[in-house]
Chain A
Amino acid sequence: MKRKWLWSTLVAGFVALMVGFVPQPTQAATESYTIGTDVTFPPFEFANKQNQYVGIDIDLMNAIAKQQGFKVTIKPLGFNAAVQALEAGQIDGVIAGMSITPERQEKFAMSDPYYQSGTVMAVAKDAKIKGLSGLRGKRVAVKTGTASADYANAQKKKYGFSVVTFDDSNNMYQDVMTGNSAACFEDKPVMQYGIASGMKLKIVGKTTMKSDYGIAIKRSESATLLKKVNAGLKALKANGQYDKIVRKYLGNGSEAAQKKKTAGTSETDRSFMGLLKSNWGTLMSGLQQTLWLTILGILCATIVGVLVGLLGVVPNKFAQGAATTFIYIFRGLPMMVLALFIYSGVPSLINEKIPAFVAGIITLTLNEGAYTAAFVKGGIAAVNPGQMEAARSLGLPWGKAMRRVILPQGIKIMVPSFINQFIITLKDTSILSVLGLLELTQTGKIIIARNMEGFKIWSMIALIYLIIITLLTWLSNWVQKRVNAA
Chain B
Amino acid sequence: MTIPRVEMKNVRKRFGDNEVIKNINLKVDDNEVVVLIGPSGAGKSTVLRMINGLETTTSGEILIDGDDIAHAGKSINQMREKIGMVFQHFNLFPNMSVLDNITLAPVELGIRNKADAVTQAKQFLEVVGLTDKADAMPASLSGGQKQRVAIARALAMHPEIMLFDEPTSALDPEMVGDVLGVMRRLAKQGMTMVIVTHEMGFAREVADRVVFFADGELLEQGTPTDIFDHPQHPRLQQFLKQVLNV
Contact = CB atoms under 8 A, between A and B. Distances in A.
Interface of A: 384, 386-387, 389-397, 400, 404-405, 408-409, 412
B54 A400 contact: no
B157 A394 contact: yes
B166 interface: no
Contacts, number: 60
A390 B154 CA distance: 9
A404 B77 contact: no
Given A393-B52, A393-B80, A397-B77, A384 B91 contact: yes
Interface stretch (B8-16, B104-112, B128-136, B208-216): B104-112
B105 A394 contact: yes
A389 B105 contact: no
B95 A409 contact: yes
B125 to A, nearest CB: 17
Interface of B: 52, 54, 77-78, 80-81, 83-85, 87, 89, 91-95, 104-105, 108-109, 150, 153-154, 157
Nearest to A389: B54
Given A386-B87, A404-B104, A404-B108, A393 B93 contact: no
B108 to A, nearest CB: 5
Q: Which 8 A-B pairs have the closest CB atoms?
A: A390-B91, A395-B81, A394-B105, A393-B85, A386-B91, A395-B80, A408-B95, A397-B77
A83 B190 CA distance: 83
11 contacts: A386-B89, A387-B93, A389-B91, A390-B85, A390-B92, A394-B81, A395-B81, A395-B105, A396-B77, A405-B93, A409-B94
Contacts of A386: 87, 89, 91
A475 B91 CA distance: 33
Contacts of B54: 389, 392-393
A392 B93 contact: no
A394, A400, A409, most chain B CB atoms within 10 A:
A394
A101 B52 CA distance: 76
A408 B97 CA distance: 13
A397 B73 CA distance: 11
Nearest to B111: A395
Contacts of B94: 409
A393 B83 CA distance: 7
Given A391-B93, A393-B85, 13 more contacts: A386-B91, A387-B93, A389-B54, A390-B87, A390-B92, A393-B54, A394-B81, A394-B104, A394-B157, A395-B77, A396-B108, A405-B95, A408-B95
Interface SS majority for chain B: mixed
Nearest to B81: A395
A397 B53 CA distance: 13
Nearest to A408: B95
A33 B94 CA distance: 61
Contact of B105 (A384, A387, A396, A408): A396
B138 to A, nearest CB: 11
B155 to A, nearest CB: 11
A389 B87 contact: yes
B15 to A, nearest CB: 18
Contacts of B95: 405, 408-409, 412
Contacts of A405: 93, 95, 104
Contacts of B77: 392, 395-397
B164 to A, nearest CB: 12
A389 B154 CA distance: 13
A386 B52 CA distance: 14
Contacts of A394: 80-81, 84, 104-105, 153-154, 157
A408 B87 CA distance: 21
A390 B83 CA distance: 12
B93 A390 contact: yes
Contacts of A387: 91, 93
A394 B53 CA distance: 12
B183 to A, nearest CB: 17
A384 B87 CA distance: 13
B112 to A, nearest CB: 13
B157 A395 contact: yes
B246 to A, nearest CB: 28
Given A386-B87, A389-B87, A390-B87, A395 B78 contact: yes
Contacts of B87: 386, 389-390
Contacts of A396: 77, 104-105, 108-109
B109 A395 contact: yes
A79 to B, nearest CB: 55
B52, B85, B108, B157, most chain A CB atoms within 10 A:
B108
A404 B153 CA distance: 15
A286 B200 CA distance: 75
A399 to B, nearest CB: 10
A412 B95 CA distance: 10
Nearest to A397: B77
A389 B87 CA distance: 9
A400 B108 contact: yes
Nearest to B49: A389
Contacts of A409: 93-95
A316 to B, nearest CB: 14
Contacts of B109: 395-396, 400
A333 to B, nearest CB: 36
Nearest to A405: B93
Contacts of A393: 52, 54, 80, 83-85, 154
Nearest to B74: A397
Contacts of A391: 93, 105
A408 B166 CA distance: 28
A391, A404, A408, most chain B CB atoms within 10 A:
A404
Contacts of B92: 390
Contacts of A408: 95
A402 to B, nearest CB: 12
Contacts of B150: 390
